[in-house]
Structure 1
Amino acid sequence: MTRPRIALASAPAYGHLYPLMPLAFALQRAGADVHVAVGTPFHGRLDFPTRLGFPEGATIGDVTAEVMATFPEVKENFRERWVPSFFGNVISRHAAPVLREQWAAEPPDLVIYEAMFPAAKLVADEAGARTLAFGITQWSPFFGSLPAVARAANGDDARKPWQVAGASIGFEAGGYVDPFPAGLQTLAESTPEPRIPVRTTAWSEAAPQTDPSLLAPHVDGRPRVFVTLGTVSFGAVDALRTAVLGAARTGAEVVVACGPEGDPAALGDVPDTVRVHRFVPQAAILPTLDAIVHHGGSGTMLAAIEHGIPQLVVPQGADQFFNAEAIERAGVGISGSAGLDVDGVAEAVGRLLGNGEHRSAARRLAAEVAATPSPDDVARRLLDEL
């Protein structure tokens, strides 16, 4: 019997790819022939079958520069124009030809694409494959317009990406795989149907040089706080240093990830209770934490929720401000959207470490996540439906 062929597809960015990987492995365990379509630096690097889903060597930085050169009007309204221009237009124009070539040789039966990578939806439709969107951030009806933007970008539509998006809001995929618990959704009532809930599961690539002491008991019995502004921190060195110094002022042991491209020396002198790394495998360190200070990236936020960890969110861009609001609204943490100095961070982290209400709320939400179907449950369901 021929195994069903399933492709997962993502923009080449950590926060877009990593959330899909637990489901990719689960589908593989369930017996499907699975690959992930992705670009540099992940193609060929993952401990999983990959196919090229974006031009070899092209980076997110290249796309950013092209968006600003092609659509300078984006600067007039980043909130409404950035996503359709970046993900809907420029990424789709470059990704679609690559995906066509890959899937012409290996036509998939099912394509699961992260909802910000509509080029995969476009090419899957051309190939006659079933499609499911995967939520990597809170659902907004705005995301439903991205496949229309991708079609326009790959056709002869002269409208600006945001003009296409404004006229095309709707949901086209055959279902929506959603790792966000209802308690965090801002627009839960508008989530597409059929909604396929899946348990959020922290995942990261193997890091052979990880300091083993990260997984050891806490230093001197101190509480442990993890500080990260993600793999794309918008160059916010000052914000990271403020967060680190504020967290350290509580007396906690502070573990810092400054990002794969970050420079630990850029933080300058830090207290002895602080350890700075470029990369820390979150899946490994999360069970050891008492609190986390982060940028509000959806992957980090959901992974912390999975483990019932109180959070301070200091957003730097993208969807991070919405996530900060959701964290505070759910009672599982504190939003630093208004900006915090060192004293403000210290006060907020101190509340997370000492305030049982945040921890209790985080544990309740973790229990909701634990009751959600696992990636293996969802994988079996999807294969049954093929």
Structure 2
Amino acid sequence: MAPRVALASSPAYGHLYPLMPLAFALQRAGADVHVAVGTPFHGRLDIPTRPGFPDGATIGAVTAEVMSTFPEVRDNFRERWVPSFFGNVISRHAAPMLREQWAAETPDLVIYETMFPAAKVVADEVGARALTFGITQWSPFLGSLPAVARAADGDDPRKPWEVAGASMGFDAAGYIDPFPVGLQTLSESRPETRIPVRTTAWSEPAPETDPSLFAPPAGGRPRVFVTLGTVSFGAVEALRTAVLGAARTDAEVVVACGPEGDPAALGDMPDNVRLHRFVPQAAILPTLDAIVHHGGSGTMLAAVEHGVPQLVVPQGADQFFNAEAIDRAGVGLSGASGLDVDGIAEAVGRLLGDGEHRAAARRLSAEVAGTPSPDDVARELLAGL
């Protein structure tokens, strides 16, 4: 009988997509694989999906619930948001659904993204081996989230951040880590059970995408991709600034406004700008000369994989840490201090014009290429069951 493997993720592109190359590799290795996730991903992944989050519990609704349940979050977003949002509220919604699924179909192995600790709690209950998959740079703070999820599941009167502060460490059978060491800020504190895996860009196909996006521009013109990810914190003006700045370099500028974004909201654009709602990132990356993005881990790692120099313009969450990492590693530039159109144009011009950042990006890409592939890791994981 094939081993059962469940992958589990919050219902967000940047949380789910990084898991998919390993999910497909486990399937190729002979495992019976499913993904526990919420809408809008059910039935569209070319791999079986199971409900892992209630319909209608949107990110906006969860955000409102966090703010009403834990208003003290406003006093310290940096330390209180993640344990409250992911450790407590997301977990309270997800755990009952996972219990129902895995009681009827108990997995042998659970692999959950770091911000979905309800999966670890329920995996322990059903006796499944649980490993976490890093979708952001490792920090001992992330190791506290399963304890926060357990407290949310019981009668613990402490606030989520109080539980987190008392529970630093690592609580899983292994830590699957797609971040190259050369990009990590706290690499010395990584879990001893770290399992390196090659970062592999993946995105769902877009059926109506212009095929010319997947070939380099004609005439040797450079191409710059601009995106603020699938969750841009409503930063329409930030995206417009980034696009107009990149366009001043006279490169071909391809823009992804996001699956729920509206290209028309950006207004009139120069002739060298191509606006799209969604662009399959994995397909366009090999054609790029530079990328301007928000600093989401998935986009950052995908660009690293392909050796593309990056300008990171962070908008929130862990994106400021990623901007620092890109700048420190020399593979791009940080716009964390805020850049206007002129600043964006100057930074993108540097990435296109000098070879320093490109050479560093290629060196880091070579490090990634030497890391065990998802297929290698899948075979290792299944052999240990």
CA distance in 2, matches of 1:217, 1:242: 24
Alignment of 1:291-310 (within 5 A): 291-310=290-309
- Please give the per-residue CA displacement for 1:37-87, whole angstroms capped at 9, x wherever unaligned: 000111222211111111123211211111111111101100000000000
**Which residue in 2 is equivalent to 1:215?**
214
**Structure 1 stretches lacking a partner, 5+ long:** none
CA distance in 2, matches of 1:284, 1:156: 47
CA distance in 2, matches of 1:216, 1:163: 51
CA distance in 2, matches of 1:171, 1:64: 26
Once the 2 structures are TM-superposed, how far is the Cα of residue 216 of structure 1 from its aligned partner? Answer: 3.0
CA distance in 1, matches of 2:281, 2:371: 21
Do residues 245 (structure 1) and 228 (structure 2) align?
no
Deviating more after overlay: 213-222 vs 287-296: 213-222
**Which residue in 2 is equivalent to 1:95?**
94
**Which residue in 1 is equivalent to 2:344?**
345
**Which residue in 1 is equivalent to 2:6?**
7
Do residues 377 (structure 1) and 379 (structure 2) align?
no
Do residues 104 (structure 1) and 83 (structure 2) align?
no
- Please give the per-residue CA displacement for 1:248-305, whole angstroms capped at 9, x wherever unaligned: 0001000000101111011100000000000000010000000000000000000000
User: Do 1:26 and 1:375's aligned partners in 2 also have CA atoms closer than 8 Å?
Assistant: yes
1:300 partner SS: helix
**Which residue in 1 is equivalent to 2:321?**
322
Once the 2 structures are TM-superposed, how far is the Cα of residue 96 of structure 1 from its aligned partner? Answer: 0.1
**Which residue in 2 is equivalent to 1:123?**
122
User: Do 1:39 and 1:57's aligned partners in 2 also have CA atoms closer than 8 Å?
Assistant: no
User: Do 2:216 and 2:223's aligned partners in 1 also have CA atoms closer than 8 Å?
Assistant: no
**Which residue in 2 is equivalent to 1:164?**
163
Alignment of 1:1-386 (within 5 A): 2-386=1-385
CA distance in 2, matches of 1:61, 1:42: 17
1:141 partner SS: coil
- Please give the per-residue CA displacement for 1:70-125, whole angstroms capped at 9, x wherever unaligned: 11110110000000000000000000000000001100001000011000000000
TM value normalised by structure 2: 0.99
Please give the root-mean-square deviation of Cα atoms over the aligned residues, in Å: 0.7
Identity rate, percent: 86
User: Do 2:177 and 2:194's aligned partners in 1 also have CA atoms closer than 8 Å?
Assistant: yes
Aligned pair count reads 385
- What one-letter code is carried by the residue in structure 1 that aligns with 2:228? L
- In the TM superposition, structure 1's runs of 4+ consecutive aligned residues that sit over 4 Å from their partners are none
User: Do 2:138 and 2:186's aligned partners in 1 also have CA atoms closer than 8 Å?
Assistant: yes
Deviating more after overlay: 270-279 vs 51-60: 51-60
Once the 2 structures are TM-superposed, how far is the Cα of residue 239 of structure 1 from its aligned partner? Answer: 0.5
CA distance in 1, matches of 2:224, 2:45: 29
Once the 2 structures are TM-superposed, how far is the Cα of residue 219 of structure 1 from its aligned partner? Answer: 4.0
CA distance in 1, matches of 2:16, 2:61: 18
Once the 2 structures are TM-superposed, how far is the Cα of residue 217 of structure 1 from its aligned partner? Answer: 3.1
CA distance in 2, matches of 1:384, 1:260: 38
- Please give the per-residue CA displacement for 1:344-380, whole angstroms capped at 9, x wherever unaligned: 0000000000110000000000000000000000000
User: Do 1:176 and 1:195's aligned partners in 2 also have CA atoms closer than 8 Å?
Assistant: yes
- What one-letter code is carried by the residue in structure 2 that aligns with 1:271? P
2:141 partner SS: helix
- What one-letter code is carried by the residue in structure 2 that aligns with 1:149? V
1:293 partner SS: strand
- Please give the per-residue CA displacement for 1:173-199, whole angstroms capped at 9, x wherever unaligned: 001000000000100011112110000
- What one-letter code is carried by the residue in structure 1 that aligns with 2:358? R
User: Do 1:181 and 1:369's aligned partners in 2 also have CA atoms closer than 8 Å?
Assistant: yes
CA distance in 1, matches of 2:255, 2:97: 37
- What one-letter code is carried by the residue in structure 2 that aligns with 1:259? G
CA distance in 1, matches of 2:294, 2:8: 25
User: Do 1:40 and 1:58's aligned partners in 2 also have CA atoms closer than 8 Å?
Assistant: no
TM value normalised by structure 1: 0.99
User: Do 1:111 and 1:124's aligned partners in 2 also have CA atoms closer than 8 Å?
Assistant: yes
User: Do 2:8 and 2:116's aligned partners in 1 also have CA atoms closer than 8 Å?
Assistant: yes
CA distance in 2, matches of 1:62, 1:212: 37
User: Do 1:138 and 1:180's aligned partners in 2 also have CA atoms closer than 8 Å?
Assistant: yes
1:82 partner SS: helix
Once the 2 structures are TM-superposed, how far is the Cα of residue 19 of structure 1 from its aligned partner? Answer: 0.2
- What one-letter code is carried by the residue in structure 1 that aligns with 2:78? R
User: Do 1:256 and 1:276's aligned partners in 2 also have CA atoms closer than 8 Å?
Assistant: yes
CA distance in 2, matches of 1:44, 1:294: 29
- Please give the per-residue CA displacement for 1:129-157, whole angstroms capped at 9, x wherever unaligned: 00101000000000010000000001001
